[in-house]
Amino acid sequence: MRASPIRIPTDSDDSNWDSCFHLSHQTKSPAHEQTYELYPSDGSGESEEDTKAKEEKSVDCMSLPEEKLAHSQRKTAELIKEKMNTQANKELIRCVILSRIIFGEEHWKCAQALTNLAYGYLTLRGLPAQAKKHAESAKNTLLTWKGNMTSNKEKKEILGALIMLYYTLGVAWLLQNHGKEAYFNLQRAERSLKELKEFDKGSVYRLQVSEKDLTIALGRASLATHRLNLALAYFEKTIGDIIIAKGDKTSDLISLYEEIAQIEQLRRNHDQAIQYLRKAHSICVSVFTEVSPKTAEISALLAKAYAMSGEAQHKDAVELYFIKSISAYHETLGPEDYETLTTIEEFSKWLIQNGEKQEAYRVLKVSLQSQVSYHDCSEKVAKALYNMGRICFAKGDLRKSISLLKKCLMIQILVYESDHSKIRETKNILSLLQRAKTIHLDEEEKPFKKERILYAKAQRHD
C-alpha cells in the first residue's frame, strides 16, 4: 500500500536551484510571464491580465524591499492556489532573498522564510533532500530567538514556524525511509503544537501544517518503526476527527482506511483489514464510480486482503475483486499500463497457488495478446513470458516451457544489463530444462534402442 501522499521524482537534485536562488530581485521571473498567459483578455474593458500587469509595474526597481517581500508573499499564495508549483517555489526563494536583505541572515524572520521554502520543496516539489537542507539551516536561528523572545505575537509566529520546520524534517526523513529520525522530528513538532496551544489558551491560530497533517505523519512514522498499536491510535484519531468534520463518505478517508488495513494485516487481523478496505471501496465507488483508477487500486487491495486471510470461503471474493480491478485498470489506464500488468501478474500468481494453472496461463496469454508492445522490449512482457514458461513446466510441457523462456531471455537481455540477476536466473532455469528434456528423450528412446540392437543382430546372423 502506498502510504505516502507525495510522489518523489527519481532525480533528487533540483537543477534549477542555483539559477533560481541567484535571480536578481530586479528581474522579472518566469512565474510572472506565465501568470500573464493564464488570463487572456476577453476584449471587454480592462482584462485581469492588464490589472495584474499594473500591479507588477507598481512593484518596480524603485520599490522598497519590504513592499517587494509583501508582493512576493501574495504572489506565492496565488501560484499555489493555481497549482503552479514550480513557479510558487521560485517565489519562495525570492522571499528568502528579500528577507535576508531586510532582516539579515540571523533574524528569525529570515529563518521563517527558509522554513517556508523547505516546506515548499517538500509539498510543492516532492524533493525531501532540499527540504531537509533548508529546514536544518533555519533550525538553530529559530530555537535561539524562541528562547529570547519577549513579544507574544512573535513567539506565536516562531512556534508556528517550528511546527512547520519539524514536520518538514519528519516527513522528509520518512520519504527517505528513515522512520526513527522521522518519528523523532514529528514528536518535536507535536510538542511545539502543544506548547502553542497552551500559550494561546487552547486555540491555535491559522497554521499551514494542520493538526490532522501532523497526526497522519506520526501514524506513518510509527508504522515505519513497527509501532503498530501507536500507529493504529494515530490513524483512528484522525479518522474520528474527519468523520466528525466531513462525514463518513469523504474521499479524505480512503488513504487512511488503506493504511489502517495495512496495520491490521501486520497484526494478522485479516477480517478487520477487509472491513476497512470494504469501507474504502464503498467511498471510491460513491466518489469516483466503479470504473476509475482509484477504485481499481482498492479492488486489488481487497482481493489481496481476502487472499491473505487464507479462508476457503473467500476464494470467490478474491477472484471477483481481481477481475474488477483488472477491468477498471484496463478501461481507464489501458492494457499496457504498469498497474494493469502488475495486477494481472498478481492474479495469475494467486491462480497458480490455488492449482488453477490453466486459468493462470489463459489470463497471461490474453494479457500479452492485448498489448501493442507484445513484440517490443518490455519488462512486463518478459515477466509474463517467464510466468507462462513456469506454468508449462509445472504441467510437464517442457518443449513449450523452453520456447517461452527463450523468448523471455531475449527480451531480458535487451531490457536489463548483461549481469542482471533475472537474466542469470532465466539462463539457469533454461539450462536445467534443456538437460531435463535430453534425459526425457533418452528415456523415450530406450525401448527403441533395444529393438534396433536385436534387429542389427538378426541382420548379421542372416
CATH number for 1-39+49-176 (one of 1.20.144, 1.10.3470, 1.25.40, 1.10.730): it is 1.25.40
pLDDT recorded at residue 185: 97
- Cell numbers at residue 403, please? 520456447
Task: Work out the pLDDT band at 76, boundaries 50, 70, 90.
Answer: very high
Give which of 178, 258, 437, 75 is closest to 170, Cα–Cα: 178
Q: What is the pLDDT of residues 324-334, one digit of tens each?
A: 999 999 899 98
Length of the chain measured in residues: 462
Task: Work out the pLDDT band at 78, boundaries 50, 70, 90.
Answer: very high
pLDDT recorded at residue 60: 52
Q: Among the ranges 37-51, 197-211, 309-323, 360-374, which has the highest mean pLDDT value? A: 309-323
CATH number for 334-443 (one of 3.90.190.20, 3.40.50.150, 3.30.450.20, 1.25.40.10): it is 1.25.40.10
**Is the pLDDT confidence value at 40 over 60?**
no
Which is more confident, 135 or 441?
Answer: 135
CA dist., res. 301 & res. 306, Å (int): 9
CA dist., res. 340 & res. 386, Å (int): 17
**Is the pLDDT confidence value at 83 over 80?**
yes
Task: Work out the pLDDT band at 401, boundaries 50, 70, 90.
Answer: confident
Domain pair 1-39+49-176 / 334-443, same fold: yes
CA dist., res. 299 & res. 147, Å (int): 52
Average pLDDT, integer, range 259-269: 94
Task: Work out the pLDDT band at 204, boundaries 50, 70, 90.
Answer: low
pLDDT recorded at residue 236: 95
Question: For residues 357 and 394, is the Cβ–Cβ distance under 8 A?
Answer: yes
Average pLDDT, integer, range 435-457: 52
| Dihedral (CA of 49, 50, 51, 54) sign | positive
Which residues lie below 8 Å from residue 14, measured CB to CB, with a gap of 6+? Answer: 121, 125, 127, 130
Which residues lie below 8 Å from residue 447, measured CB to CB, with a gap of 6+? Answer: none
pLDDT recorded at residue 146: 82
Match 479524505 to its residue by C-alpha cell. 252
Segment (H or E) for 313: none
Average pLDDT, integer, range 90-105: 94
Q: Is 91 strand, coil or helix?
A: helix
Task: Work out the pLDDT band at 358, boundaries 50, 70, 90.
Answer: confident
pLDDT recorded at residue 44: 41
174: number of Cβ within 10 Å: 25
Which residues lie below 8 Å from residue 63, measured CB to CB, with a gap of 6+? Answer: 71
Task: Work out the pLDDT band at 28, boundaries 50, 70, 90.
Answer: very low
Q: What is the pLDDT of residues 266-316, one digit of tens each?
A: 999 999 999 999 999 999 999 999 999 999 999 999 999 999 998 889 999
What mean pLDDT value characterizes the chain? 80
**Is the pLDDT confidence value at 118 over 60?**
yes
pLDDT recorded at residue 413: 80
Question: For residues 88 and 79, is the Cβ–Cβ distance under 8 A?
Answer: yes
Which pairs with CB-CB distance under 8 Å and at least 24 residues apart come from 58-66? 61/26, 65/25, 65/98, 65/101, 65/102, 66/102
**Is the pLDDT confidence value at 392 over 50?**
yes
Average pLDDT, integer, range 117-141: 94
411: number of Cβ within 10 Å: 22
Match 522512520 to its residue by C-alpha cell. 179
User: Which residue type is seen at 234?
Assistant: Y
Which is more confident, 453 or 6?
Answer: 453
- Cell numbers at residue 197, please? 496551544
CA dist., res. 169 & res. 187, Å (int): 11
Question: For residues 400 and 385, is the Cβ–Cβ distance under 8 A?
Answer: no
Question: For residues 317 and 352, is the Cβ–Cβ distance under 8 A?
Answer: no
Average pLDDT, integer, range 117-126: 95
User: Is pTM, for the whole model, over 0.75?
Assistant: no
205: number of Cβ within 10 Å: 11
**Is the pLDDT confidence value at 55 over 90?**
no
- Where do the domains of the chain lie? 1-39+49-176, 334-443
**Is the pLDDT confidence value at 225 over 60?**
yes
Per-position DSSP letters for 161-200, written without gaps between them: HHHHHHHHHHHHHHHTT-HHHHHHHHHHHHHHHHHHHHHT
Percent above pLDDT 70 for the chain: 77
pLDDT recorded at residue 11: 37
